[in-house]
Amino acid sequence: MFGVMLLTGIAQIQSFVQEYAEVIAQVLEVDVTIVDEECIRIAGTGPYKAKIGQFVPSGSLFQRIVQTGEHGIVRDQDRYPACRNCAIAAECLELATMGFPVVRKGKPIGVIGIMAVNREQKEKIIGSSDRLTDFLTHMSSLLESKLVLVEANHRLQDQVQAAMEVIGHNRSFGTMLGQSPAYRRLVEEAVRISTGTSTVLIRGESGTGKELLARAIHSAGERSGGPFVVVNCPSLPDNLLESELFGYEGGAFTGASRGGKPGKFELAQHGTIFLDEIGDLPLSLQPKLLRVIQERTVDRIGGREPIPVDVRVISATNRNLESMVESGAFRADLYYRLNVIPLFVPPLRERQEDIELYLYYFLRKYAQRLGKKIREVEPGLVQWFKDYRWPGNVRQLENVVEYLANMAQGDKVSFAEMPYNLVDNNLIDKENLPPSSGLSLEQRVAEFEKGLLAGYLPKGASLADKKRAAKELEISLATLYRRLEKYGLL
């Protein structure tokens, strides 16, 4: 789905190029053809639409423009020397022709051509050549900009593919996806301590992937063959948490199983126990947990003999344990026992380099799961993902991408598929804009205009949709395209 494209140059964006050809033809009221660097027509209007996929004639103006990179105009083919060498000079019905190069990194990669087949069109091309040159310069820049975005998208998809291959070969830290310096440092630290037995305390906000990190540490260590047992401390009532952690003997209390029950520490024998949200552990149970960690034995409720356990303890919290120690809500001695190796998972808003990578990674994941061929994300939506502060971190981002994948109807996702609770009418989550963003009036107006345009034009908007939007907004189609290009909404 995010595979390597075999097409190169502007042929990669052929559908977009065809749409532009139709826009140019409508605005200028002439026929249009666009060729690639191989001089193959990839778009056309009128009689030239039937010639898409064919080479332009040998010796033609367009061939010369591809070779030289210089724009040109044929005012009269009978008097134009190059036309005498054209393979179809005797059959050509064009009264005037103008061609303008599409350039990428200083190299011509195509030509936009406009043709006159009647006298009125000829007079327009010849009499307005300077203005037409300015217009075609802008159109060429738009095509180049779109190509740059597509190529950047392909490069990112290649990075995702490489990351997927790493994950396939490494079932432990390969799952820790991220390229920001802070995140890579975290992974390097976790790799170094994975082979030990010391207790680990993972700090970080909710949704940052603390359990994923704990599993990776377990899987990379010598205990990977043993169990990985998860205990979510807040999810169990205080009166049940003790028996869940440490187990009980038969008849230890009313309702106890006759044969007794091993606790989570016993179930994690020769493996790892992960105590999630350790800050919510009741104060009454903290001394018993401290004893288990220090003595490496567990006392069942109602039991007479301590049971030896060989377990590595990894705990996690999003709370400020230091403040809890100061207030007496968490035992200092237990805190120091748990905090032998502290690891901190940075929030997603502090590692923007990872946001786009996660976006495409999860999109690939859910597209495959749903059997969809989603290849592209609207540039404006990518920027929205980068700008949003993600209070729920990676977990929230994954949920949003899963929603997008479910809603997608074609090969591209856009604002039209976004959950309504995240995006308002102007597509800006005002509650999550940083207070210090310092947006000027001009910037705020631009954000509003961007959101308004995205609201008018749903995902995969056709040329007819764009014409309708331009009419309703009382602007020209050319102006609409300029605004869409400005805000990355094409």
Instruction: Give me the tens of pLDDT residue by residue for the chain, a chain 490 residues long.
Output: 343 334 557 777 888 888 888 888 888 888 899 999 888 898 999 888 888 888 888 778 888 898 898 988 887 665 555 555 665 555 567 788 888 999 888 888 899 999 888 888 888 888 888 888 888 888 888 888 778 777 766 665 665 555 544 444 344 465 577 888 888 889 889 989 999 999 999 999 989 999 999 999 999 888 999 999 999 988 888 778 888 899 888 766 666 667 688 999 999 999 999 999 999 999 999 999 999 999 999 999 888 889 999 999 999 999 999 999 999 999 999 999 999 999 999 999 999 888 988 898 899 889 889 998 887 888 788 888 988 888 889 989 999 999 999 988 888 888 888 887 676 533 444 444 444 345 565 666 676 677 667 766 755 567 777 777 777 777 887 778 778 877 777 6
Q: Record the tokens describing residue 120, joined without a space.
A: 């009125």
DSSP codes, 79-121: T-HHHHTSTTTTT---SEEEEEEEEETTEEEEEEEEEE-SHHH
Of the CATH numbers 2.90.10.10, 3.40.50.10800, 3.30.300.30, 1.10.8.60, which one belongs to the domain with range 352-486? 1.10.8.60
Buried b (16+ CB within 10 A) or exposed e, 79-109: ebeebeebeebeebebbbbbbbbbebeeebb
Can you list the alpha helix ranges (DSSP code H) found in 170-269? 181-193, 210-220, 238-246, 264-267
Q: Is 298 helix (H, G, I), strand (E, B) or coil?
A: strand
Q: Which of 27, 63, 72, 18 is nearest to 45 (CA)?
A: 18
User: In angstroms, what CA-CA distances link 76 with 98, 116, 135, 170?
Assistant: 11, 11, 22, 67
Percentage helix, strand, coil for the chain under 3-state DSSP, each rounded to 5: 50, 15, 35
Instruction: List the structure tokens of 193.
Output: 């301590």
354 backbone φψ class: left, alpha, beta (φ>0; ψ -120 to 50): alpha
Tell me the C-alpha distance between 100 and 144, whole Å.
Answer: 13
pTM: 0.57
**How many other β-carbons are positioned within 10 Å of the β-carbon of residue 358?**
21
Token reading at 244: 């869940």
Distance CA 103, CA 109 (A): 6
**pLDDT given for residue 425 in this prediction:** 38
- DSSP code string of 373-423: ---EE-HHHHHHHHHS--TTHHHHHHHHHHHHHHH--SSEE-GGGS-TTT-
Contacts with 248 (C-beta within 8 Å, 6 or more apart), sequence order: 256, 260, 261, 263, 300, 301, 302, 303
Give the phi and the psi of residue 72 in degrees, each rounded to 5.
-155, 165
What is the reported pLDDT for 167?
A: 42
**Count of CB atoms within 10 A of residue 318's CB?**
17
Q: What distance in Å separates the CA atoms of residue 394 and residue 403, rounded to the nearest whole number?
A: 14
Domain spans, the chain: 9-151, 189-345, 352-486
Paired residues of 209 in beta bridges: none
Level-2 CATH architecture, domain 9-151 = 2-Layer Sandwich (3.30)
> What CATH number belongs to 189-345?
3.40.50.300
